[in-house]
């Protein structure tokens, strides 16, 4: 009996160690924050902005624990402790997964293929290596997801860091004479209350139009409706901490465009919504003396 208990204990320790390793590749914990530099390019030009991903709450669905990941995914996610797969909850599901969509398998090693949710698609681990991120040596996994066949194409390459989670996403798509690409790259994060890198979430696309402003003012975005980007202007008559955030129709924060101290003046911020679905959104400006919200419409 003692031998059986020792064997079971050893298996549990091995299992816990393995799960701990996969957990580090996507650390789901309430309060963790990840800030990314986002670049989007299409025939119209290139836009740059900052995007923030936050783990904001958790819940139990069908006896499984999910975390709501706000920004980048904007979905309920879970990391399975048995197969190392990262799943998103879905009311229908895909292929062999009931009420879930497989995002990535963090268990795969170099040259290994993982299951895919959709037909005519495949996912493979292209490489595993070690790199220095924020001055710390960490393991990296490079996963590739592609859709083949048909008149168009789509590919998605993702890097996961063993210490810092999702490190980057690069996408390429096109068809019928159109081409677009995007890159999401980690600039900083807060994991277990420890700050790494640059966590300033303000947009890199803030333009100071004028150093003169006589009143607080938030203008209607232009164009409106828009696809996929729009510009938002605001004025502040004195130096102030400024917050400009985007919310969806049910009031969830989906993007932080500005979160910093600004001097007196008129400013313009560009929001690129290429990763967001069509619908009504709200943008809210908060300063020391003004809180104002306006509505806008994204049509794709």
Kindly report, residue by residue over 70-109, the tens digit of the pLDDT. 888 889 999 988 888 899 998 887 767 788 988 888 888 8
CA gyration radius for the chain?
22
CA distances from 280 to 172, 189, 298 (A): 27, 29, 6
Phi/psi region, residue 265 (left: phi>0; alpha: psi -120 to 50; beta: rest), is left
pLDDT tens column, 178-197: 788 889 999 899 999 998 98
For the whole model, what pTM was predicted?
0.64
* Average pLDDT in the chain: 83
Rounded CA separation 95/101 (Å): 9
Buried b (16+ CB within 10 A) or exposed e, 93-108: ebeebeebbbbbbbbb
For residue 15, pLDDT over 80 is answered with no
pLDDT tens column, 112-163: 776 666 555 567 888 889 988 888 999 999 998 877 555 677 888 999 999 9
Task: Name the token pair of 199.
Answer: 């966590």
pLDDT band at 19 (very low <50, low <70, confident <90, very high): very low
**Which one has a higher pLDDT value, 41 or 31?**
31
Contact assessment for residue 101 and residue 90, using Cβ atoms and an 8 Å cutoff: yes
Residue 257 CB-half CA count within 13 A: 25
**Which one has a higher pLDDT value, 222 or 127?**
222
């Amino acid at each position: 009996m003692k031998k059986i208990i020792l064997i079971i204990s050893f298996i549990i320790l091995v299992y816990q160690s393995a799960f701990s390793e996969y957990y580090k590749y996507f650390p789901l914990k309430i309060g963790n924050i990840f800030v990314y530099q986002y670049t989007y390019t299409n025939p119209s030009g290139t836009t740059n902005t900052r995007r923030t991903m936050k783990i904001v709450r958790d819940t139990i669905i069908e006896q499984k624990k999910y975390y709501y990941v706000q920004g980048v995914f904007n979905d309920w996610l879970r990391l399975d402790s048995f197969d190392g797969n990262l799943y998103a909850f879905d009311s229908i599901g895909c292929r062999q997964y009931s009420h879930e969509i497989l995002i990535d398998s963090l268990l795969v090693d170099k040259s290994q293929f993982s299951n895919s949710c959709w037909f005519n698609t495949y996912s493979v681990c292209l490489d595993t290596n070690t790199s220095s991120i924020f001055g710390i040596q960490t393991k990296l996994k490079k996963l590739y997801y592609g859709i083949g066949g048909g008149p168009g194409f789509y590919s998605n390459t993702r890097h996961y860091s063993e210490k810092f989670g999702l490190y980057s996403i690069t996408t390429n798509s096109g068809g019928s004479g159109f081409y677009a690409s995007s890159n999401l790259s980690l600039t900083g994060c807060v994991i277990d209350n420890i700050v790494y890198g640059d966590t300033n979430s303000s947009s890199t696309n803030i333009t100071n139009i004028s150093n003169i402003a006589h009143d607080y003012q938030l203008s209607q975005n232009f164009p409106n409706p828009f696809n996929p980007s729009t510009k938002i202007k605001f004025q502040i008559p004195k130096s102030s901490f400024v917050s400009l955030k985007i919310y969806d129709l049910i009031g969830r924060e989906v993007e932080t465009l500005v979160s910093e101290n600004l001097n007196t003046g008129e400013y313009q911020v560009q929001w690129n919504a290429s990763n967001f679905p069509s619908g009504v959104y709200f943008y809210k400006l908060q300063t020391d003396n003004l809180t104002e919200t306006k509505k806008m419409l994204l049509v794709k």
